[in-house]
């Protein structure tokens, strides 16, 4: 099992309190099916995607909602 911070229940609660937050989640069997609009999964082969969403989060205006698409 991975770290506690990549558990879907924890991520859901965290995002409920931080709706503008970005989650980069390492993929494990137990969290593979979890999804959320503010989440990008990292599986070791998609570093370019992770960088892309980090740039989106960084460049948004203050208090602007996170839109990864």
Predicted TM-score of the model (pTM): 0.85
Q: What is the mean pLDDT of the chain?
A: 92
- Look up the domain containing 16 and give its range: 4-59
Residue 65 lies in a domain: no
Residue 14 lies in a domain: yes
How far CA 4 is from CA of 21, 30, 67, in Å, comes to 18, 12, 26
Q: Which residues are CB-neighbours of 69 under 8 A, at least 6 positions away?
A: none
What is the C-alpha separation between 17 and 32, in angstroms, rounded?
Answer: 23
**What is the domain count for the chain?**
1
Residue 64 lies in a domain: no
Residue 60 phi/psi, 5° resolution? Answer: -70, 155
pLDDT tens-place string over residues 32-56: 999 999 999 999 999 999 999 999 9
Residue 68 lies in a domain: no
The average pLDDT across 4-32 equals 91
Question: How far is CA 51 from its chain centroid?
Answer: 12
């Amino acid at each position: 099992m991975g770290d506690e911070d990549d558990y879907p229940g924890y991520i859901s609660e965290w995002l409920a309190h931080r709706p503008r937050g970005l989650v980069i989640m390492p993929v494990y069997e137990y969290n593979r099916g979890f999804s959320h609009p503010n989440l990008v999964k990292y599986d070791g082969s998609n570093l370019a995607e992770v960088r892309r969403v980090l740039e989106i989060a960084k460049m948004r205006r203050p208090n602007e909602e996170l839109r990864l698409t």
